[in-house]
Chains A and B, each alone.
Chain A
Amino acid sequence: EDQVTQSPEALRLQEGESSSLNCSYTVSGLRGLFWYRQDPGKGPEFLFTLYSAGEEKEKERLKATLTKKESFLHITAPKPEDSATYLCAYGGSQGNLIFGKGTKLSVKP
């Protein structure tokens, strides 16, 4: 069964403490691996798309990487405003996105 599993479920960091979020996937015929950010009471906001192993994308303090079995979202020197739930998703055969449960990140000043 195709699925994505995110870990950890929750992560607490001090401001400036770099870390990584994991998204492992078992998907036959991956049609893209996607990262979204979701703030409380808001809809998810698109961050990155990765298509092939070895690909990397960066945006400010975030860098997403992809291997054949997992994707990482690296957060360098996070700030409190990076606090959010980060969702990964894969592209389904019908053209939709199938989301993981997310990692809730809290960054304390």
Chain B
Amino acid sequence: EAGVVQSPRYKIIEKKQPVAFWCNPISGHNTLYWYRQNLGQGPELLIRYENEEAVDDSQLPKDRFSAERLKGVDSTLKIQPAELGDSAVYLCASSGYQHNTGELFFGEGSRLTVL
């Protein structure tokens, strides 16, 4: 069974440029998460989807970040414009019927460097 797939793995951009990350969750998983992980820190939730509905986006900086999950499958996270402080690893995770057990399946992440 394929795991959570993210792309690109690495991205280097100049500040004020836009960037987008893509995530394909595990087939059949209705819950999708975007987390951000700064160096030496634990992941922090940005947004959580139940199917195509964003049910928790309280930590998403909405002035520059946006996300969508079309048809309740793939998801895209966009930053426009990027700032130096956005440099981090952006992790996508998914969970199925067992999400109440805390078992999230994470992708390998997209490492963003903003110069």
Contacts and interface: CB of A to CB of B under 8 A. Distances in A.
B43 interface: yes
Contacts of B4: 43
B60 interface: no
| Interface size range of chain A in the complex | 20 to 34
Interface in A64-109: 87, 89, 91-92, 94-102
B56 A95 contact: yes
Contacts of A102: 41-42
| A interface secondary structure, majority | loop
Nearest to B6: A43
| Interface size range of chain B in the complex | 20 to 34
Name, among B40, B45, B58, B102, the residue most crowded by chain A CB atoms within 10 Å (CB to CB).
Answer: B102
Contact of A95 (B93, B99, B105, B107): B99
Interface of A: 32, 34, 41-46, 49, 87, 89, 91-92, 94-102
13 contacts: A32-B101, A42-B108, A43-B93, A44-B106, A46-B102, A46-B103, A46-B104, A94-B48, A94-B58, A95-B48, A97-B102, A98-B45, A99-B43
Given A44-B43, A46-B102, 17 more contacts: A32-B101, A34-B102, A41-B108, A42-B109, A44-B91, A45-B106, A46-B104, A87-B43, A89-B102, A95-B100, A96-B56, A97-B45, A97-B102, A97-B104, A99-B44, A101-B40, A102-B41
